Amino acid sequence: MLSVEDWAEIRRLRRSEGVSISEIARVLAISRNTVKAALASDEPPRYRRRAAGSVVDGFEPRVRELLRAYPTMPATVIGERIGWPYSIRTLSGRVAELRPVYLPPDPASRTSYAAGEIAQCDFWFPDIELPVGFGQTRTAKQLPVLTMVTGYARWDSAVLIPSRHAEDLFSGWWQLLEALGAVPRVLVWDGEGAIGRWRGRRSELTVECQGFRGTLAAKVVVCRPADPEAKGLVERLHDYLERSFLPGRTFTGPGDFNAQLQGFLVRANTRQHRALGCRPADRIAADRAAMLALPPVPPTVGWRSSTRLARDHYVRLDGNDYSVHPGVIGRRIDIHADLDRVRVFCDGRQVADHERIWAKHQTISAPDHLTAARALRRDRLEILRPAPPTREPEVEQRALTDYDTALGLTDGGVA
């Protein structure tokens, strides 16, 4: 067989140097017909092994007959039906070649998202125990991570929140949307209790979710039960965080966890994305431009309540008691709390401001509130203390001899 080197040299000598076919044959010691064949071939010569027969050739008509009737029949079942006496690997290879003839192909669909169209949201529960102060630790079931991924840019967002209560969920959700700088037109959620659920054949959103999405002017879609593929983007984010963010990390508290998580997501959003062929940072500008603008008036999120301040001047929120200035005891107060602060107002004036504690069953007291309470109790006691009793006027006590003298009962008197 002619080598590739001789084939290339023949073509060079003939086309570049103009050497005759006879001379090329003499120089390379090959026949003129070989030279002519090399010049006529546009591809280099390659070794092609002659196809040999296979033990499955004699069984192929029966295999085709079975596949024609049952295109999805497994190769093992086909082997049983035809009495296959050899290795199943040989038969399965031939069945794989013949099956597409009788079974129409099933191409996989590629899901694509338009810019600004959609974002998928969910909770991630990392397998950690996080210290929250006061000697307490809490697991991921109690401290979930709220995650969000945009469909077009694959932009990842996440934040650790204190609980799965609706007040904390919507606070964290709004924080992610503010950081994104826009609102996707469709927000996809799993069947989270604070968002909504499927009842019968339709989904129902909670009242809190309806109010939140109404302020955003966006649509919220609740996935059907047992349908993780409907939110595959955010599920892949969770897997990525499990494999790339958690290993080898330790956390001193919720603030440290969020700080490390945000630093990791900055790098994650600038990595090359295989499915996109680019980085999420290269697409996020177009994604934001097609989204809805943030509402001019932010939605009402977080904990909101109103009550009359009792004598102990403390309010309870998420299992903890926070002090309030005792000067407003007996008056109506408004309690506002988010992921970071707990604030109390009375007639528009702030009367308490505490850092929110993620531990449970704690009493948080501001020093100035305790000082004011002691002063008020002292003033109250002085007002209510009864006046000291008035002293009776002192009466002079006379000696008994004075009465005897007056009555003439002394020795000088009449007996």
CA-to-CA distance for 163 and 143, rounded, in angstroms?
A: 5
Domain ranges of the chain: 4-40, 57-102, 118-290, 303-384
Calpha distance 156→115 (Å, rounded): 15
Sign of CA dihedral 396, 399, 404, 410: negative
Given a contact cutoff of 8 angstroms between Cβ atoms, the answer to whether 354 and 315 are in contact is: no
Cβ–Cβ < 8 Å for 325, 374: no
Residue 289, C-beta contacts closer than 8 angstroms, at least 6 positions apart = 115, 116
Give the C-alpha distances (Å, rounded to integers) separating 346 from 305, 309, 353, 370: 12, 10, 12, 18
* Alpha carbon separation from 120 to 29, 113, 342 (Å, rounded): 72, 12, 30
* Cβ atoms of 41 and 6 closer than 8 Å: no
Which pTM was predicted? 0.68
Q: Can you tell me the distance from the alpha carbon of 278 to that of 280, in angstroms, rounded to the nearest whole number?
A: 7
Q: How confident is the model at residue 65 (pLDDT cuts 50, 70, 90)?
A: very high
For the stretch 318-360, pLDDT in tens is 999 999 999 999 999 999 999 999 999 999 999 999 999 999 9
For 280-291, how does the pLDDT look when each residue is reduced to its tens digit (9 = 90+)?
999 999 999 999
Instruction: Summarize pLDDT for 74-119 with one digit per residue, the tens.
Output: 999 999 999 999 999 999 999 999 999 998 877 766 678 899 999 9
> CATH number of the domain at 118-290, please?
3.30.420.10
Q: Give the whole-angstrom CA distance, residue 381 versus residue 286.
A: 69
Please answer whether residues 152 and 115 qualify as being in contact, where contact means their C-beta atoms are separated by less than 8 angstroms. yes
pLDDT at 410 over 70: no
345 CB-near residues (< 8 Å, 6+ apart):
333, 334, 336, 351
Specify the DSSP element, H or E, that contains 100: helix 88-102
Q: Is the pLDDT of residue 292 over 90?
A: yes
**DSSP annotation of 120:** E
Both tokens of 143, joined, read: 């401290």
Using 50, 70 and 90 to split pLDDT, how confident is the model at 187? very high
Beta-carbon count within 10 A of 236 CB: 15
